[in-house]
Amino acid sequence: MAHTFDTCIRGTGIVGRTLALLLARDRHKVALVASCAGAVHSAPDSIDVRAYALNAASRALLQSLRCWPDADHATAVTHMRVLGDQGGSVQFDANAQHADALAWIVDVPALEACLSQAVRFQPQIELLDAPVSAALTVVCEGRASATRAEFGARFEVTPYAQHAIAARVACEHAHQQIARQWFSPEGILAFLPMGGPQGNSVAVVWSVTPEHAAKLMELPAQAFSERLRDASEGALGTLSLLAERAVWPLQLARADRWCGSLPAVGRDCASWVLAGDAAHNVHPLAGQGLNLGLADVQALASVLHQRDYWRGVSDLRLLRRYERERKAALWAMGLATDGLQQLFTRQDGPLPKLRNAGMKVFDVSGPLKDFVARQAMGM
């Protein structure tokens, strides 16, 4: 019996919906199956505090699908300040890179709404409650994917001794489109500008030890805001929480294999492939998690688009080409984020002085600094 669908995508998050729209644009018949695996949820009836830093490549991809949120929900970052714990600092400027922005801080609910609307009006995509037979099954269920294990892929996880606290905060002073990050013995704190160019709210990601995270989550809203103000050295003045906080454990992880064969239906071949957090996780300190996931689906869609006419979407040679390409890109990013996390969480010996001195040298390194900035910008 022939497959009714070309592709079955398990997972209706940002990565899954983006892939569905890319494949539908190529006239694939796509089944999109909801899954709650791996999601980070806010409390019921509360504001969703999640935000993502998206680079130029991710923005161009979403714009090509007409799914980019308006300026109030996608704030351009024109400057970035990274501060160490002993006077070290690094600053990035979009003008120096001849770009409009270093990144865009995107409100997750707004982006999800854009993608949902686009999916709703795409006749090639059918939203389903359960998986169906297809030539290709793509797993986009997130880090806790059950399907990944079902298909026999091992998820090699290295837990970090850190949890991430996410929050949305109103600030006394406008953010001036500056993303700020502090590395200190207490943890890694990031303030991401929200609300457009004139906004005075930020999305907060605070990576601290599990024990410290538990204490911070127990604090009343005002006390937590005061701790945030102290940790941010009063950069934006008095702070106040706008919503309930969310927390989750951090990890470095990668699936050992990203594709494989499925039992055939009649004479039709079938395969599976992983994308997004179901395939890999990195530390959020560089803000590259969703950028990597969107790069996955763009690469997968490109490989399928460029295939020889006689190859089906289940052809493992194509899927392994995608796997090799994305593993190579992930290796470099994972190495960088893991190295920075390890460097700034150790307080023994001369390391604090050395890393802060290294930040100062890097800040004036010219071509090296420009290269790192443009890599992070997706350029």
The confidence score (pLDDT) of residue 1 equals 42
Burial class from Cβ neighbours inside 10 Å (0-12, 13-18, 19+) for residue 200 reads: middle
DSSP string, 55-98: -HHHHHHHHHTT-PPPTTTEEEE-EEEEE-SSS-EEEEETGGGT
- Please, which pLDDT band fits residue 83 given cuts at 50, 70 and 90? confident
Q: What is the pLDDT of residues 145-164, one digit of tens each?
A: 999 999 999 999 989 888 99
The confidence score (pLDDT) of residue 74 equals 95
Q: What is the pLDDT of residues 289-309, one digit of tens each?
A: 899 999 999 999 999 999 988
- Please, which pLDDT band fits residue 363 given cuts at 50, 70 and 90? low
Give the alpha-carbon dihedral of 41, 46, 47, 50, to 10 degrees. Answer: -20
Dihedral sign (CA 72, 74, 78, 82): positive
Q: 317 lies in which domain range?
A: 5-376
The confidence score (pLDDT) of residue 43 equals 46
pLDDT above 90 coverage of the chain, percent: 64
Kind of pairing between the strands at 51-54 and 74-77: unpaired
Which pTM value belongs to this model? 0.88
Give the alpha-carbon dihedral of 242, 292, 232, 212, to 10 degrees. Answer: 80
Domain count, the chain: 1
Q: What is the pLDDT of residues 34-64, one digit of tens each?
A: 875 544 444 445 577 889 999 999 999 999 9
Indicate if the pLDDT at residue 99 is higher than 80.
yes
The confidence score (pLDDT) of residue 2 equals 52
Long-range contacts, stretch 336-339, CB < 8 angstroms, 24+ apart: 336/286, 337/252, 337/282, 337/283, 337/285, 337/286, 337/288, 338/252, 338/282, 338/283
CATH number at residue 131: 3.50.50.60
Write the CB contacts of 340 (distance below 8 Å, at least 6 apart in sequence).
283, 285, 286
Distance CA 252, CA 289 (A): 11
Distance CA 259, CA 240 (A): 46
Q: What is the pLDDT of residues 163-195, one digit of tens each?
A: 999 999 999 999 999 999 998 888 889 999 999
Indicate if the pLDDT at residue 93 is higher than 70.
yes
Is-contact 340 68, C-beta < 8 A?
Answer: no
- How many helices and strands (H and E) does the chain possess? 10, 18
363/36: higher pLDDT = 363
Please give the mean pLDDT across all residues of the chain: 87
CA 316 to chain centre: 27
- Please, which pLDDT band fits residue 226 given cuts at 50, 70 and 90? very high
- The predicted model gives 263-282 an average pLDDT of 84
Instruction: State both tokens at 283.
Output: 């530390």
Q: What does R_g of the chain's alpha carbons equal in angstroms? A: 21
* Three-class DSSP category at 175: coil
Which amino acid is residue 362, in one-letter code?
A: F
- The predicted model gives 241-265 an average pLDDT of 89
The confidence score (pLDDT) of residue 206 equals 95
Closest CA to 202 of 230, 167, 229: 167
